[in-house]
Amino acid sequence: MASAFGHAFSALAIGSAFEKPISKWKFWALGVICSILPDADVIAFQFGIAYNSFWGHRGFSHSFVFALLLALLVTFIFYRNINPKTRIALIL
């Protein structure tokens, strides 16, 4: 079973492949947060949402659509001033 530490380690490992100008503390922190964020869907249990529901654990927050939306949101909020070619590389 994957853990928050495993997700964070993966984000750090993948992030190390990027060029130095974007490899700052913000980049690393966002990578770790974004890798753990989909598992925050366990909070749904507190609101009576079933495990196998679309909004339950391993539902929407574990989809490619959620990953793309999260990548777009984080990129445009935190990396607005970066060269557009680099910004696209961040998303993909």
Mean pLDDT, each 10-residue run in order, the chain (92 residues): 67 70 74 83 81 80 90 86 66 58
Length of the chain: 92
- Domains of the chain, by residue range, sit at 4-91
Q: How far is CA 16 from the centre of its chain?
A: 16
Question: Can you give the pLDDT at residue 16?
Answer: 73
Q: How far is CA 4 from the centre of its chain?
A: 12
Its pTM stands at: 0.65
Question: Can you give the pLDDT at residue 65?
Answer: 92
